[in-house]
Amino acid sequence: MIPGWVRDELEALRASDSYRTLRPLEGPCGPRVRVAGREMLCFSSNDYLGLAADPRLAEGAARAAREWGAGAGASRLITGTLDLHAQLEQDLARLKGCEAAVLFSSGYQANLGVLTALGRGGVILSDELNHASIVDGCRLARARVEVYRHADPADLEQRLRAHAGPSRKVVVTDGVFSMDGDLAPLPEILEVAGRHGAIVVVDDAHATGVVGNGRGTAHHFGIRHEGLVVMGTLGKALGAFGAFVAGPRAVRDLLVNRARSLIYTTAIPPPVLGAARAALEVLQAEPDRIERLAAHTRRLRQGLRQAGFPVPDLPTPIVPVILGGNRAALTWSEKLWDRGFWVHPIRPPTVPEGTSRLRITVSSEHDPADIDALTEALAELLRSDPAARQAPEAHP
């Protein structure tokens, strides 16, 4: 017997247009996907450089599987650390311009690990629009958590001032915000944090492979900062799976000793490591992918602006069309679906109440004509539903 509350909760989700389902692809991830028996233009994945289904990554995975097997056999601290882990960690540290890096099984786990290890018993200052995995990391750290106003170094400073004293302080922010596509004001955050003796952790899940020549938020701002701790994922622009934290060697060593989401889980398996390694090689061999992504980003943002959407000129391929309520986001998404575009609706708790939206993402492998077609379809929807024009701007 299923307890009644399970059905009640599902019913409540349906009643508030918050219910979610899983939609299986019938082929590989890419700018065009097969789903529900149709070919759709996909503008919702995080596969920004079109690497997820690149044959070179698949071959990297296959080769690693042939040479090293399917599994790592243990957690990292026991017998699960392979040369493959060590090599990839070195490559990732180099990509980020950091002393050292350590792998985690996912970005979610990386954020849990870094925040619990660095924040334990201290104060964590977290941007209000940070990713759910950061929110969960804050909760798990049993730290005092101060949520500061989005991308607001002045509010951050005020809160840091209230915690003057010897306790540990960690400031954590998305580098590129996952649902808004804006950038954290990292230079100002580092300055404020520096004045108050706080460590800064930047989540580069959507920045790695995308901004700063693919090297992330710090590089985008031209910052070289020895103390910065950077989390990045291998599952988005890098097309594979897994994640890492890069930073000073001492931070890496502390994570190896203290990050429970790293210690108490089986090491990343060889095929995943082989794919990630191949992704870094493609990134290096084909810098034009990042340039093409930037061009497509400009094209999409310009097109939407001309169509009347309040879209700022930013260097990130994440463009929200904020519609307000859940129903509006679902309806717009369905209308686009009928026209052959898959643009996923994003609703609370992923975004704040009243800011349900379409989250559009482009990839370097989209066809410019496909981007124009999407822009035209959205322009048409706006003409038929001008209420959307009054939707709040993401963050003016």
Ligand X SMILES: *Cc1c(COP(=O)(O)O)cnc(C)c1O
Which residues of the shown chain bind ligand X in the complex (CB under 6 A)?
A: 106-108, 111, 131, 133, 174, 178, 203, 205-206, 233, 235, 243
Nearest approach, Cβ of 204 to ligand X (angstroms)? 8
Q: Which is nearer to ligand X, 111 or 355 (CB)?
A: 111
Bridging pattern class, strands 123-127 and 345-346: unpaired
Write down the least CB distance from residue 305 to ligand X, Å. 25
DSSP-H helix ranges across 52-126:
55-68, 83-96, 107-119
Q: Residue 41 Cβ, how far from ligand X at the closest point, in Å?
A: 22
Q: Between residues 235 and 303, which has the closer beta carbon with respect to ligand X? A: 235
Backbone angles phi, psi at 38, to 5 degrees: -125, 160
Which lies closer to ligand X via its Cβ, residue 37 or residue 349?
349
Distance CA(253)–CA(256), nearest Å, equals 5
User: What minimum distance in Å lies between the beta carbon of 203 and ligand X?
Assistant: 5
Give the tokens for residue 264.
């108490």
Q: What is the DSSP string of 349-393?
A: TSS-TT-EEEEEE--TTS-HHHHHHHHHHHHHHHHH-GGGGGSPP
Q: Out of 96, 236, 296, 344, which one is annotated catalytic?
A: 236
Task: Closer to ligand X by CB, 110 or 382: give it.
Answer: 110
Which member of 44, 126, 133, 178 is catalytic? Answer: 178
**Residue 178: active-site member:** yes
Give the CA dihedral 266, 138, 238, 51, nearest 10 degrees: 90
Nearer to ligand X, 131 or 289 (CB): 131
Which of 96, 169, 206, 219 is labelled catalytic?
206
Helices (H), 100-247: 107-119, 132-140, 153-161, 186-195, 217-220
Q: Is 206 a catalytic residue?
A: yes
Nearer to ligand X, 179 or 193 (CB): 179
- Residue 76 DSSP label: I
Instruction: Choose among 178, 209, 211: nearest CA to 344.
Output: 178
What's the closest the beta carbon of residue 291 comes to ligand X, in angstroms?
23
22: its two tokens: 């899983």
Residue nearest to ligand X (CB): 107
Q: How far is the CB of 107 from ligand X (least distance, A)?
A: 2
Q: Is 236 annotated as catalytic?
A: yes
Contact 214, 253 (CB under 8 A): no
Which sequence positions are flagged as catalytic? 178, 206, 236
